[in-house]
């Protein structure tokens, strides 16, 4: 199974289960920036519907085996459910639960339907500004590259940079923002 096929199964299963969600991670960053190779599918799901995560995991059972142990994100302490595809090659599926973090709540409330070329369809994504803020918050090398690429492709002049800067100030990631902005190559 290809990653795109698995991503579609994850998204279609969330839709069929009636769960509010949005694709995050490399899928969202690639939709707004420069697509990159990835071996995982990340979804942020609302926990408003009781049992929603369990219904989604059950619907994905033919394709994904989830670890029964819940993992906590070390930056935000949000809960996530980690699974592995049953078919080769192995892919990781991470289902992040919404929780009362102000940024996560803002990001989820601002989600929107966007055409994702990788999937050849529309699905729910965070805004490009929220992708940038989240990637800067995680701060791994690939996340900083994704933030820079979204900024470069979208253009800071077309983004709500005040929104990005305010969240970066709250998260203490302002220096990361300045660094990725400085790395954007000039247009000729």
Q: SS3 sequence, the chain? A: CCHHHHHHHHHHHHHHCCCCEEEECHHHHHHHCCCCCCCEEEEEECCCCCCHHHHHHHHHCCCEEECCCCEECCCCCCEEEEEEECCCCCCEEEEEECCCCHHHHHHHHCCEEEEECCCCEEEEECCHHHHHHHHHHHCCHHHHHHHHHHHHHHCHHHCCHHHHHHHHHHHCCHHHHHHHHHCCCCCC
| pTM higher than the cut 0.85 | yes
Q: What mean pLDDT comes out for the span 8-14?
A: 96
Return the pLDDT at 188. 64
Return the pLDDT at 7. 95
Residue 66 has pLDDT above 70, yes or no: yes
């Amino acid at each position: 199974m290809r990653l795109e096929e698995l991503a579609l199964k994850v998204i279609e299963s969330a839709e069929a289960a009636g769960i509010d969600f949005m694709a995050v991670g490399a899928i969202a960053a690639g939709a707004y920036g420069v697509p990159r190779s990835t071996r995982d599918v990340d979804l942020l799901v609302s926990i408003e519907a009781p049992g929603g995560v369990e219904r989604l995991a059950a619907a994905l059972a033919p394709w994904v085996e989830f670890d029964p142990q819940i993992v906590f994100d070390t930056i935000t302490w949000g809960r996530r459910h980690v699974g592995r595809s049953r078919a080769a090659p192995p892919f990781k599926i991470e289902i992040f639960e919404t929780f009362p973090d102000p940024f996560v709540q803002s990001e989820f409330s601002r989600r929107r339907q966007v055409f994702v070329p990788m999937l050849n369809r529309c699905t729910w994504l965070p805004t490009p500004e929220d992708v940038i803020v989240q990637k800067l918050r995680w701060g791994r090398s690939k996340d900083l590259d994704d933030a820079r690429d979204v900024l470069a492709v979208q253009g800071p002049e077309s983004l709500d940079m005040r929104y990005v800067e305010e969240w970066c100030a709250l998260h203490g990631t302002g220096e990361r923002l300045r660094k990725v902005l400085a790395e954007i190559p000039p247009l000729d």
